[in-house]
């Protein structure tokens, strides 16, 4: 049995196009003359809306406004983001005998709407969103404490798609799995020295079962 923690954007939810579109719309509204592109996300050292805004040349005094406007667009989207092909079945399979949580820089409300849309709400024990204070590493520790995982016997695993996910896992002393279908490429992810790299969702089951 393991505590398995998923990042949200780029791991479960296919939000790349939404992020680029919403980032551009908000930049336009704020009068920022920047053309938002994939590289603004793929080259980030820290995967967050604040870092995304800075990559889009948003002035520091407008970063919080950028964050809130982006989150609002996700909340007002007619339907939640698509789930990556195969991830629904993977989460349901892993939830048998393991504890599943999500830690994200998106809002808990947006994540819960996504889980409800894709029939996964009953499989996720907790969501730690941007609305909960603390760094990703601190939230990993919070989840471990909340679910009483004994790390000597019960592994804690973070599944992420960004360099900052891998670094957070190291900081929290948990196993890291980098997935390559998300917002950052493998070369960038490997700078965080992930314990495992997974290229297809269904392969998560085998890797996690071996780890757990």
In this predicted structure, which of 51-55, 108-112, 148-152, 170-174 has the lowest mean pLDDT?
148-152
**Tokens standing for residue 26:** 């908000």
At 51 the pLDDT is 95
First to last CA, the chain: 6
Query: CATH no. for residue 99?
Result: 3.40.50.1000
Q: Per-residue pLDDT for 150 more than 80? A: no
Same domain for 21 and 9: no
How far is Cα 174 from Cα 156, in angstroms, rounded to an integer?
5
Same domain for 186 and 139: yes
Number of domains in the chain: 2
How far is Cα 195 from Cα 39, in angstroms, rounded to an integer?
25
Same domain for 71 and 25: yes
Instruction: Indicate the residue among 53, 76, 99 that finishes a domain.
Output: 76
Candidates 176, 182, 181, 184; CA nearest to 208 is 176
**Tokens standing for residue 155:** 């592994």
- Banded pLDDT at 151 (limits 50, 70, 90): low
Q: What domain range is 39 assigned to?
A: 16-76
DSSP 159: E
Same domain for 115 and 31: no
Same domain for 189 and 85: yes
Residue 156 has φ and ψ, to the nearest 5°, of -115, 125
- Banded pLDDT at 69 (limits 50, 70, 90): very high
How far is Cα 112 from Cα 120, in angstroms, rounded to an integer?
9
Same domain for 98 and 42: no
Instruction: Indicate the residue among 76, 92, 110 that finishes a domain.
Output: 76
Mean pLDDT of the chain: 94
DSSP 123: G
pTM of the model: 0.89
Share of the chain above pLDDT 70, in %: 97
Across-strand partners of 127?
102
- Banded pLDDT at 154 (limits 50, 70, 90): confident
At 156 the pLDDT is 95
């Amino acid at each position: 049995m393991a505590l398995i923690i998923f990042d949200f954007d780029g791991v479960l939810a296919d939000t790349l196009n939404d992020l680029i579109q919403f980032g551009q719309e908000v930049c336009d509204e704020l009068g920022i003359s920047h053309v938002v592109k994939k590289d603004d996300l793929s080259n980030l050292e820290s995967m967050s809306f604040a870092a995304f805004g800075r990559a889009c040349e948003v002035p520091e005094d407008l970063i919080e406004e950028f964050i809130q406007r982006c989150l609002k667009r996700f909340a007002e989207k007619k339907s939640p983001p698509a789930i990556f092909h195969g991830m629904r079945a993977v989460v349901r399979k892993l939830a048998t005998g393991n504890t599943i949580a999500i830690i994200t820089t998106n809002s808990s409300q947006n994540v819960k709407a996504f889980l409800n849309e894709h029939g996964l709400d009953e499989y996720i024990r907790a969501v730690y969103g941007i609305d909960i204070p603390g760094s990703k590493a601190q939230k990993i520790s919070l989840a471990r404490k909340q679910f009483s995982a004994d790390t000597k016997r019960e592994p804690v695993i973070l599944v992420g798609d960004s360099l900052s996910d891998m670094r957070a896992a190291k900081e929290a002393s948990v196993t890291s799995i980098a997935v390559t279908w998300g917002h950052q490429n493998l070369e960038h992810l490997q700078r965080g020295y992930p314990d495992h790299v997974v290229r297809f969702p269904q392969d998560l089951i085998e890797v996690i079962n071996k780890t757990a």
